Amino acid sequence: MSDRPFPAATGRVPPGAFGHNRGVVARNYAFMPPEGVLVSRLPQFERTIARILTAPVMGARFAQYVLEIAEGGGMPAAFAEDGIQHFYYVLGGEVVLSIEGGESRTLAVGGFAYLPPGTRFTLRQSGEGRADVLALRKRYEPAPGIAVPGAILSHRDAVPMTNHTGMEGRGFQFLLPYGDMRFDFEMNLMWFKPGVCFPAVETHVMEHGLYMLEGQGLYLLGSDWHEIWARDFIWMGGYCPQQFYPTGQGDACYLLYKNVNRDIAL
């Protein structure tokens, strides 16, 4: 067998014949460290890498992504999907989100946008360097007598910190209006001081998509604990036993998707 002239490269695969991976995909949850999520590309974006975190093929009823948008990249033309609502949260850099015939705004780190189903919009990188954006798509579930919500473009600094549990060391920022029945999901920033855990193991019907933004901790999924830190992602199906215990020396924060405000489809 003759040698083949492979392209020149500077990196080298580390030694070891067996893969070592924190990732787990189980029947009712998945723990996804970023190093195992390979790149994809989407036809509505240019100069953009999409890392798909969860999708219906996994069992989720929504799709969630990290978009890595290079300078000058993003949507070259307005995009819309009938019946599908979108949510975006800026992790790094800046983007401009423009609604056709409506508002246009530059969103920096912590900026977010909710777009109701059928909204025509563009999302493009702005400023210098790459922009990283957490994206979510979900089919809207209409309810009799309830109007479809309008678009929201805002920043987490404009959202008050609350604590409806009364438990010391916890904070909640509801990026979509809390208790507003027009919305069929929530996107919440969950804050924890070190050592402040859930008061109980939760087991409930809601589905979750969790993206770790700051800090670290231990997360119980089913019967197993997983060490979680920034950029890790968790999908939790309905009735997955779960609990979080923050570790480290600083605050921990994650962005949490939750489906709410709708009856059970039979």
- Whether residue 206 is contained in a domain is answered as yes
What CATH number should be reported for the domain holding residue 187? 2.60.120.10
Q: Is the pLDDT of residue 1 over 60?
A: no
The amino acid present at 165, given as its one-letter code, is: T
- Whether residue 232 is contained in a domain is answered as yes
State residue 18's pLDDT score. 66
- Whether residue 3 is contained in a domain is answered as no
State residue 195's pLDDT score. 86
- Whether residue 264 is contained in a domain is answered as no
Rounded to an integer, the average pLDDT of 229-242 is 97
- Whether residue 5 is contained in a domain is answered as no
State residue 37's pLDDT score. 96
- Whether residue 2 is contained in a domain is answered as no
State residue 12's pLDDT score. 79
Total domains, the chain: 1
Rounded to an integer, the average pLDDT of 28-50 is 97
**pLDDT tens profile 139-158:** 999 999 999 999 999 999 99
- Whether residue 19 is contained in a domain is answered as no
Token pair 């948008």 in the structure block, residue: 69
Domain containing 185 equals: 24-142+150-259
- Whether residue 265 is contained in a domain is answered as no
Model confidence at 44, pLDDT cuts 50, 70, 90, reads very high
